[in-house]
Chain A
Amino acid sequence: MKTFSGGPADQTHDRLSVGVSEFRVVDEGETLVAYGLGACIAIGMYDPSAGVAGLAHTLLPRADEGLDGSEAKFVDSAIQATLREMIDAGAGYGDVHAWIVGGAQIFDLADLDLPADVGKRGAEVAGEVLAELNVPVVDTAVGGTAGRTVELDAATGELTLVTAADDEPTLLATAVDEETD
Chain B
Amino acid sequence: MRLHVESLGTFYEMAREGAGVAARRLTRMTGIPTRVGVTRLDFTDRRMLRSEFGADRDRVGIRVDLDGGLPGTSAILFGEETAREIVATLGEDVPLDDREDLGRSAIVEVAQVMNNGFVDGWADVLQTTIDVAAPEYVTDDDAESVLGAAALNATHEDLALVFRNSIEAVGTELDFEHYLVPDHDAMAALLADGAQGEGIEHRKLTAFDRMAQLGADRVADNLSKTAGMDVTVDLRRINFLSLDAIPEGVSEEPHVSVAFSYSGVLSGYLLFLYDEASARDLVRSAVGDDATALGGMGQDAIKELSNIMASGLLDGWANMLEETIDHSTPAYAYDMGAAVIDPLIVGLSERQEFAFVFDTRVTAVDSEFDVEMYAIPDEADLEGALSRLEPDRADDTPATAHLRMNEVRAGDPGDLIDGEDASLRADDAVEEVEQP
Contact = CB atoms under 8 A, between A and B. Distances in A.
B340 interface: yes
B250 A106 contact: no
Contact of B249 (A4, A119, A147): A4
B206 interface: no
B336 A36 contact: yes
Contacts of A106: 333, 335, 339-340, 342-343
Give the secondary structure class of A's interface.
loop
B196 to A, nearest CB: 15
B346 A3 contact: no
A6 B245 CA distance: 10
A94 interface: no
A104 B339 contact: yes
B140 to A, nearest CB: 15
Interface stretch (B256-264, B315-323, B427-435): B256-264
A113 B261 contact: yes
B210 to A, nearest CB: 21
B236 A147 contact: no
Interface string A134-159: 00000000000011110000000000
Interface stretch (A48-56, A62-70, A79-87, A171-179): A62-70
A111 interface: yes
Contact of A38 (B339, B357, B361): B339
Interface string B35-58: 101101000000000000000000
A20 B339 contact: no
Contact of A113 (B239, B245, B263): B263
A131 B83 CA distance: 49
A85 to B, nearest CB: 16
Contacts of B336: 35-36, 147, 149, 164
Interface in B325-345: 328-345
B65 interface: no
B329 to A, nearest CB: 5
A4 B246 contact: yes
B168 interface: yes
B349 A59 contact: yes
B363 to A, nearest CB: 9
A151 B250 CA distance: 19
Contacts of B353: 67-69
A4 B346 contact: no
A73 B372 CA distance: 27
Given A11-B170, A73-B244, A112-B259, A5 B38 contact: yes
Given A112-B261, A147-B342, A36 B247 contact: yes
Interface string B156-173: 000000001010101110
Interface residues of B, number: 63
Interface residues of A, number: 52
A12 interface: yes
Contacts of B172: 13
A71 B305 CA distance: 40
B245 A19 contact: yes
B336 to A, nearest CB: 4
B347 interface: yes
A113 B372 contact: no
Contacts of A66: 349-350
B347 A20 contact: no
A40 interface: yes
Contact of B340 (A5, A38, A68, A118): A38
A13 B352 CA distance: 35
A81 B428 CA distance: 56
B227 to A, nearest CB: 21
B419 interface: no
B249 A35 contact: no
A20 B246 CA distance: 9
B261 A114 contact: yes
Contacts of B166: 5-7
B249 A112 contact: no
Most central of A14, A16, A65, A147 by chain B CB within 10 Å:
A147
Interface in B139-157: none
Interface string B223-262: 0000000000000110101111111111110100001110
A13 B342 CA distance: 27
Contacts of B239: 4
20 contacts: A3-B236, A3-B237, A3-B249, A4-B239, A4-B241, A5-B249, A12-B171, A20-B247, A21-B244, A36-B247, A36-B339, A38-B338, A38-B342, A39-B342, A59-B244, A112-B260, A113-B261, A113-B347, A114-B344, A147-B338
Interface of B: 35, 37-38, 40, 164, 166, 168, 170-172, 177, 236-237, 239, 241-252, 254, 259-261, 263, 267, 269, 328-347, 349-353, 357, 359, 361, 370, 372
Given A5-B40, A17-B248, A107-B340, 14 more contacts: A4-B241, A4-B245, A5-B177, A5-B249, A20-B245, A21-B244, A36-B247, A60-B346, A68-B353, A69-B349, A107-B259, A112-B269, A114-B346, A146-B339
Interface of A: 1-8, 11-17, 19-22, 35-40, 59-60, 65-70, 73, 104-108, 111-115, 118-119, 146-149, 163-164
Closest 4 CB pairs of A and B: A147-B339, A36-B338, A38-B342, A4-B249
